[in-house]
Structure 1
């Protein structure tokens, strides 16, 4: 699944010359928490979010009254008092390509601490992805589908344990007992023990998981 598959294609935007109050009303009326900012040619030049509006003079913020602070950081005064969106917007904008996998989009948003990101096709903004779009993708997802039969499920679980967790085939065994996946062998930590259970449960067709793995500390971690 790619960014283009989950993005909103109809994107409200605003001009850097629009007023801050107009921007706030637009966000409230459309129940959105941010607006891309585009110039007269439609080029993306910034983004205005709720966070950009938290230190406004209208809210009674007193930080701008500290003359020493204003002299050292006049940008704070500008953001607190300017009526122009262009003076408050965040730039440069974190964007993603329309062909970026959704998982990578989510990782980028988490790393940057942002709630939305414009989706680009070369220099053109073609959509926007928000956290709610990521949540919808999760809600609509289904477990991996494998061929029917115990042996197919067993092979799929074993492959997942080795490919996703890096477990060695010789250290683990997967069997099917009355439709339930049974894991045996050993792992190096409680976290890997839990991860093995989760990995097995992601395979469609696994009716349940019985985790018999033993936790054996890596000898390289012992004292001496």
Structure 2
């Protein structure tokens, strides 16, 4: 199974000036754990995750004053749609992160999360989608 088979194809993108509260609200609304941070001035990409926001809150920082650029991981490991899930999982393990930005031809193609990898492996193992009627991952034993 390939990254393209299970990735979230419509990546949530935000700008570096978005506040952490804005980022959290957008991620919650889309039910995703990360947002790709696109900085038009540097043409660079980064990623901010729910964990980044949680760490900021734990440090007592104000989510209405803190901006995404101060909490963005800019040393992003990118995946290609043609990568196998095993290769993507290995990259996640080596890097210690739970999301990969998927790039195809220099353009953002989507985001792959650990949940996507598990859903793909579950579907391959059971011959199904790995999802219940509510869209939640279901256990297979």
Unpaired segments ≥5 residues, structure 2:
127-141
Match of 2:94, SS state, is helix
Q: Which has the larger radius of gyration?
A: 1
With a CA cutoff of 8 Å and minimum separation of 6, indicate the structure with the bigger relative contact order. Answer: 2
For the aligned residue pairs, the C-alpha RMSD in angstroms reads: 2.2
Tell whether 2:102 aligns with 1:104: no
- Please report how far the alpha carbon of residue 44 of structure 1 lies from its aligned counterpart in structure 2 after TM superposition: 5.0
Match of 1:129, SS state, is strand
- Please report how far the alpha carbon of residue 131 of structure 1 lies from its aligned counterpart in structure 2 after TM superposition: 1.1
Selected match of 1:133 from 116, 120, 125? 116
Verify the 8 A CA contact 1:119 1:127 in the aligned structure 2. Answer: yes
Write the deviation string for residues 72-121 of structure 1: whole angstroms up to 9, x where unpaired: xxxxxxxx465221111111112111221111111111222211111111
Verify the 8 A CA contact 2:10 2:110 in the aligned structure 1. Answer: yes
Q: Following the alignment from structure 1 to structure 2, what is the Cα–Cα distance between the partners of residues 26 and 16?
A: 14
More helix by share: 1
Match of 1:111, SS state, is helix
Tell whether 2:40 aligns with 1:40: yes
Match of 1:19 in 2: 19
Residue correspondences, number: 123
Write the deviation string for residues 32-87 of structure 1: whole angstroms up to 9, x where unpaired: 2211111238x55210112212343x5563xxxxxxxxxxxxxxxxxx46522111
Q: Give the ranges of 4+ consecutive aligned residues of structure 1 lying more than 6 Å apart after TM superposition.
A: none
Selected match of 2:101 from 118, 123, 137? 118
Normalization by structure 1: what TM-score? Answer: 0.49
- Please report how far the alpha carbon of residue 16 of structure 1 lies from its aligned counterpart in structure 2 after TM superposition: 0.8
